[in-house]
């Protein structure tokens, strides 16, 4: 097996413990050498002796249409994040790497002659972990006058088309690739996320941004989709949730959209006889989640009792009932009576 002993940037910055390298790989951004990633994985403490036990090593020989892994780069701007244990578990399941089973990877050569794997990146890592230096590939040439940014967008669009249609990507990952190739709706939602100080797939540069879990719920209900909730209500809801769940690193998309819907109806519904102030809603939520007894509740207390197809409405109803003890009509404004009965039956 080929073992690179030279320390690389990933190892220098994060060390050689499995959890540290795994975390570093999951947070990689920008352009990275594929070989650098492989070398970092192979240099993890006891990886050669323990983790690779049972995984067949298969040095590459006579690879058709082969390209050296050391020549390849990956652009993490549009690629899915690396989940190291998922890659290792798949290798263990299949007993190693099979070139026949893997097929060919897709490589795009940019005008600066750097070669980027836009589809098959994980197959490259599997091959490298199993001792291979070469892998079969197909080659795509960008036009010579294209900038790196234009090449990146073209690759991201191809990547989304290939992987989204095969249903291999999460919606968050699809959204990330849409942002890279400048999809207008995705850019609108990205601006909203920035204004809410929320992050999806590492797209935010903010040091205070919380990760949004359940991006699809936001996508389905913003900008004239679904409930068509105005951006101001999302920003207001996010600010409140940041305050209430200050110590949590992430926020639930269901909680965000549900609270935004409640704020929308509180202001705009004719069924509300007397609307609540922002302070009353924030204080009600805070006291419900952090009661004087000192035992704080988790976010899922707001989101667990949902009627199918009425996610935002269900969360808004729960907040109105339990955090605000509503008697001003807000509970009836956020959800219809029949679905309110279904929520009560779940409890």
Mind listing the pLDDT tens digit for each residue in 162-213? 887 665 678 999 999 999 999 999 999 999 999 999 999 999 999 999 999 9
Q: Looking at the structure, tell me whether residues 157 and 213 fall in a common domain.
A: no
Check: CB of residue 240 under 8 Å from CB of residue 282.
yes
Residue span of the structural domain in which 34 resides? 9-169
**Final residue of a domain: which of 124, 139, 169?**
169
Q: Looking at the structure, tell me whether residues 48 and 151 fall in a common domain.
A: yes
Q: What integer pLDDT is reported at residue 61 of this predicted model?
A: 65
Asked, for residue 4, whether it belongs to a domain, the answer is: no
Q: Looking at the structure, tell me whether residues 139 and 240 fall in a common domain.
A: no
- Residue 261's contacts (CB-CB under 8 Å, 6 or more residues apart) are 221, 227, 229, 233, 312, 313, 315, 316, 334
Asked, for residue 142, whether it belongs to a domain, the answer is: yes
**Final residue of a domain: which of 141, 169, 197?**
169
Asked, for residue 221, whether it belongs to a domain, the answer is: yes
Angle of CA points 127, 128, 130, to nearest 5°: 65
Q: Looking at the structure, tell me whether residues 241 and 288 fall in a common domain.
A: yes
Rounded mean pLDDT for each run of 10 residues along the chain, 347 residues in total: 51 80 91 94 86 79 87 94 91 86 92 95 94 93 94 93 73 92 94 96 93 93 86 96 96 96 94 92 96 87 89 94 93 88 75
pTM: 0.70
Q: Looking at the structure, tell me whether residues 155 and 213 fall in a common domain.
A: no
Asked, for residue 174, whether it belongs to a domain, the answer is: no
Question: CB-based burial of residue 212 (10 Å sphere; 0-12 exposed, 13-18 middle, 19+ buried)?
Answer: buried
């Amino acid at each position: 097996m080929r073992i690179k002993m030279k320390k690389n940037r990933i190892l220098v910055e994060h060390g050689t413990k499995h959890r540290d390298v795994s975390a570093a790989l999951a947070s990689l951004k920008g352009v990275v050498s594929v070989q650098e990633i492989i070398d970092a994985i192979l240099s993890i403490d006891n990886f050669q002796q323990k983790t690779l036990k049972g995984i067949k090593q298969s040095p590459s020989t006579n690879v058709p249409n082969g390209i050296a892994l050391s020549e390849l780069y990956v652009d993490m701007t549009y690629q899915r994040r690396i989940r190291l244990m998922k890659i290792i578990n798949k290798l263990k399941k299949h007993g190693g790497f099979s070139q026949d089973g893997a097929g060919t990877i897709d490589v795009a050569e940019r005008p600066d002659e750097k070669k980027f794997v836009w589809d098959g990146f994980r197959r490259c890592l599997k091959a490298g972990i199993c001792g291979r230096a070469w892998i079969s590939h197909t080659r795509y040439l960008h036009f010579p006058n294209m900038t790196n940014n234009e090449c990146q967008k073209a690759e991201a669009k191809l990547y989304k088309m290939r992987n989204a249609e095969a249903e291999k990507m999460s919606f968050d990952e699809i959204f990330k690739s849409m942002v890279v190739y400048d999809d207008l709706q995705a850019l609108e939602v990205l601006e909203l996320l920035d204004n809410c100080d929320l992050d999806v797939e590492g797209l935010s540069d903010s040091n205070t941004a919380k990760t949004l879990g359940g991006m699809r719920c936001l996508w389905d209900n913003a900008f004239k989709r679904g409930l068509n909730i105005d951006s101001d209500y999302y920003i207001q809801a996010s600010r409140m949730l940041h305050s209430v769940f200050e110590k949590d690193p992430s926020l639930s998309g269901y909680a965000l959209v549900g609270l935004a819907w409640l704020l929308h109806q509180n202001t705009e519904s004719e069924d509300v006889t007397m609307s609540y102030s922002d302070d009353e809603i924030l204080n009600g939520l805070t006291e419900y989640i952090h009661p004087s007894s000192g035992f704080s509740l988790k976010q899922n207390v707001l989101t667990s009792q949902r009627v199918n197809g009425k996610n935002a409405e269900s969360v808004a109803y729960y907040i109105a009932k339990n955090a605000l003890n509503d008697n001003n009509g807000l509970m009836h404004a956020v959800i219809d009576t029949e679905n309110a009965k279904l929520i009560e039956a779940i409890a």
